[in-house]
Structure 1
Amino acid sequence: MAKELSEMTLEELWELFPIILKEYNTEYPKWYEIEKEKLAENFNDGTIVRISHIGSTAIPGILSKPTIDILMEISSDTNISQITDRLKSMQWILMNFTEEPVFKQTYNKGYTKYGFDEKVYHLHVRYADAWSELYFRDYLIECPKIAREYADLKKQLKEKHEHNRDAYTNEKEEFVRKYSEIAKQKYGDRYKI
């Protein structure tokens, strides 16, 4: 009988959930919209400031982990424990939570003790701000050459870190930071709240 996810070590989780890269799936925007609607229905009290599809599945045509990343920006006067309880009741699993230097919560759906489900989601809950992920996404959509470079980098890192998600993510950081800054210069206050 398979262990529950909460009983697994980080190494066991990385083995069960390796880095997988797939060609772009035209269903990704639809999967995002379904979850966006559920979130909007469950938080129709003004908690949500903005919901966005971020990450590589938000960039048409790019190679990506088949994970729909959703950024849910909330107002700074929100009751965090109520959000956490409501998301858990919606079958979101809290992966991590930090308050310093900035408030961030990350939830997931689609991880089972047998591996990935058909649809996999990460929900990033943060206070509303001009987040780099929004700028990076827009820049890669507008600049296919840079998007291809990013896809090539991800292929190299997948080969190197297939069973180490942290290393895979950390080694992408310099590329992401560089083009996020370029995008912020180009787009200015596009995402200022």
Structure 2
Amino acid sequence: MTKSLSEMSLKELWELFPIQLTPHQAYWEDWYQTEKRSLAAFLPRNVFLAHIGSTAIQGIWAKPIIDILLAAPESEHDLIKTRLLKHGYLCMAQTKHRIDFNKGYLPTGFAKRVFHLHLRCFGDDDELYFRDYLKVHPKVAKKYEQLKLSLWVPYQHDRDGYTAQKTRFVQKVTRTAKAERGENNS
């Protein structure tokens, strides 16, 4: 009998869901658009949705997981959380102003389509700066790709370590993107 995801240790989860990187796939944008339409059918009208993460950057390798930024008034977060849970999302982490959800994680491994949804307040959108900067600076995007490829095998079963090793690069690019737009880097 297979354990449920909630019964698995972090080590078991990381073994079941290893870091996987693949060349960019054009259909990732279609997956995002389909999921966006699905979300729009049950979310409040006053939200903002955006395709973020490496799958939104053409030409670089990425984990085949569609990251979605969902910005909404904080007063709507509880309602949105309830609706997402009813529509197949799992709450993975929650702080006062942020909630992270996953969809497509099964007790047997990844589903064909996997999503990470990041519920934030309006203005908490550094991911957009990072994404947009990489889109217009392909050499920087390739440096990011090389960093990820170098981390893939050593951190294949350590998602937190993989993410931590990318943090300095992501923060530097985000500060640069904000500075180019003349915005505060705080």
TM-score normalised by the chain length of structure 1: 0.91
**Residue deviations 1:77-116, cap 9 Å, x none?**
32x33221111111111111011xxx11011111101111
1:1-193 equivalences in 2 (<5 Å): 1-46=1-46, 48=47, 50-78=48-76, 80-99=77-96, 103-188=97-182
Tell me which amino acid in the other structure corresponds to 1:97.
Answer: Q
Task: Report percent identity of matched pairs.
Answer: 44
**Residue deviations 1:19-74, cap 9 Å, x none?**
0000001001110011111111212443x1x1110000000111000000000000
TM-score normalised by the chain length of structure 2: 0.95
Please give the alpha-carbon distance, in whole angstroms, between the structure 2 residues aligned to 1:28 and 1:160: 26
Give the superposed CA RMSD: 1.1
Tell me which amino acid in the other structure corresponds to 1:107.
Answer: F
Identify unmatched segments of 5+ residues in structure 2. none
Alignment CA distance shift 1:130-1:2 (3 Å): closer
Q: Secondary structure of 1:148's match?
A: helix
Please give the alpha-carbon distance, in whole angstroms, between the structure 2 residues aligned to 1:58 and 1:6: 30
Q: Secondary structure of 1:13's match?
A: helix
Please give the alpha-carbon distance, in whole angstroms, between the structure 2 residues aligned to 1:177 and 1:2: 39
Identify unmatched segments of 5+ residues in structure 1. none
Please give the alpha-carbon distance, in whole angstroms, between the structure 2 residues aligned to 1:27 and 1:18: 22
Please give the alpha-carbon distance, in whole angstroms, between the structure 2 residues aligned to 1:159 and 1:188: 38
